[in-house]
Amino acid sequence: MSLLTVENLRTYFHTRAGVVRAVGGVSFVVEAGETLGIVGESGCGKTVTCLSLLGLLPTPPAKVESGVALFDGQDLLHCSMQDLRRVRGKDIAMVFQDPMTALNPCMTTGAQVAEALVVHERCSRTDARARAIEALESVGIPDAASRLDAYPHEFSGGMRQRVMIAAALIAHPRLLIADEPTTALDVTVQAQILDLIKARQREMGMAVILVTHDLGVVAETCDRVAVMYAGQIVESARVEALFTAPQHPYTRALMRSLPAAHARGESLYTIPGRPPDLIAPIAGCPFAPRCEHATEVCRAPVSLQEVRPGHCSACTRVQTGDL
């Protein structure tokens, strides 16, 4: 059995302007110990997918309209708040893009790093302090003992991200959800943080969902990838298969937009148009209006289907062997 099985998750926001179909029926699995990348342009529903799983969205306006998310046999979408709190921080931990908004500015780093231990393991203060020092050292914070009583604003951006990772990993979760953990950081720090997550993952055998808009990050860190567009998964595959033989025009367009895919001096390719407004209902393939391969057949509804062993695509033309 997979560690996490998500089926047909739909999350909508009921706003005054209308219903925003942020997540429109996504299904995926995460196996124990593996890294699943969720990749896609900004606004395609990656964060809302993650927050839905942990019950962290404000309801209203958000509402999980359908779906199951089985984690170790327990449906995260339909269990009590109390059960969910037991899972959160202990079995599943989350790291956010912006540590300054995720960390509490009025709480010392030591207290925040140790929080999961105090809440879930009823650790004594002395034990919690000792383990917080260990956790901060393991993420490369020098002189951790003397930094326990410092506040988040006294750290640099990269160091704050390390603090958040230490807090997420201290209770040895089985699944880490990392939502754009390096987007706010400069490139060298970015590589260090990804290496750190990978190293801790290997030591602890933890599974990771890595959310990113950066295909380069996916190539370096993930085992499998789900490509999201307009609230749906349009392609999923093992990482090597995705990069060698992408099976959806959107994925191909994303790859063409990578700076490394360009010859020197050539102007950068960008995908024409913009992702659709999720308030207007989408009939047919959501990418069709921007797709150079779109034809009449793309107006009909389409679902994710296996087109090669372990490789799924939601492109009608790929499914019919036309593309």
Ligand X SMILES: Nc1ncnc2c1ncn2[C@@H]1O[C@H](COP(=O)(O)OP(=O)(O)O)[C@@H](O)[C@H]1O
| Binding positions for Mg ion, rule: CB under 5 A | 46-47
Among 15-23, 26-34, 79-87, 251-259, the segment contacting ligand X (CB under 6 A)? 15-23
Dist CA 184 CA 111 (whole Å): 24
- 44 scored as a contact of ligand X (CB under 6 A): yes
Dist CA 107 CA 125 (whole Å): 15
H or E stretch at 115: helix 109-120
**Alpha-carbon separation of residue 17 from 61, 66, 279 (angstroms):** 12, 22, 8
Q: Compute the half-sphere exposure of residue 231: CA atoms within 13 Å on the CB side of its CA.
A: 22
| Least distance in angstroms from the C-beta of 134 to ligand X | 32
| Least distance in angstroms from the C-beta of 314 to Mg ion | 21
Name which of Mg ion, ligand X, none residue 205 binds, using a CB cut-off of 5 to 8 Å depending on partner kind: none
| Least distance in angstroms from the C-beta of 20 to ligand X | 4
Cβ proximity of 234 and 315 under 8 Å: yes
- 113 scored as a contact of ligand X (CB under 6 A): no
Provide the terminal-to-terminal Cα distance of the chain, rounded to the nearest Å: 34
Cβ proximity of 100 and 160 under 8 Å: yes
Cβ proximity of 308 and 236 under 8 Å: no
Tokens of 116: 């999961």
Name which of Mg ion, ligand X, none residue 30 binds, using a CB cut-off of 5 to 8 Å depending on partner kind: none
Instruction: Indicate which single residue of 8, 42, 303, 320 sits in contact with ligand X (rule: CB under 6 A).
Output: 42
Name which of ligand X, Mg ion, none residue 315 binds, using a CB cut-off of 5 to 8 Å depending on partner kind: none
| Least distance in angstroms from the C-beta of 61 to ligand X | 5
| Least distance in angstroms from the C-beta of 281 to ligand X | 14
- 20 scored as a contact of ligand X (CB under 6 A): yes
Name which of ligand X, Mg ion, none residue 48 binds, using a CB cut-off of 5 to 8 Å depending on partner kind: ligand X
Binding mask 230-269 toward ligand X (x if CB under 6 A, else -) reads ----------------------------------------
Region class of 72: left (phi > 0), else alpha (psi between -120 and 50), else beta:
left
Dist CA 191 CA 185 (whole Å): 9
| Least distance in angstroms from the C-beta of 240 to ligand X | 24
Instruction: Indicate which single residue of 46, 162, 200, 317 sits in contact with ligand X (rule: CB under 6 A).
Output: 46
Dist CA 288 CA 295 (whole Å): 8
| Least distance in angstroms from the C-beta of 22 to ligand X | 3
Alpha helices in 177-297 (DSSP H): 187-204, 215-221, 239-244, 249-256
Name which of Mg ion, ligand X, none residue 176 binds, using a CB cut-off of 5 to 8 Å depending on partner kind: none
| Least distance in angstroms from the C-beta of 42 to ligand X | 4
Instruction: Indicate which single residue of 3, 4, 6, 13 sits in contact with ligand X (rule: CB under 6 A).
Output: 13
- 15 scored as a contact of ligand X (CB under 6 A): yes
- The total number of residues shown for the chain amounts to 323
Amino acid at 286: P
Dist CA 159 CA 127 (whole Å): 23
Subset of residues 269 to 288 that bind ligand X, contact rule: CB under 6 A: 278
Size of interface with ligand X, in residues (CB under 6 A): 14
Instruction: Indicate which single residue of 9, 26, 30, 48 sits in contact with ligand X (rule: CB under 6 A).
Output: 48
Cβ proximity of 166 and 173 under 8 Å: no
Residues within the interface to ligand X (CB under 6 A) = 13, 15, 20, 22, 40, 42-48, 61, 278
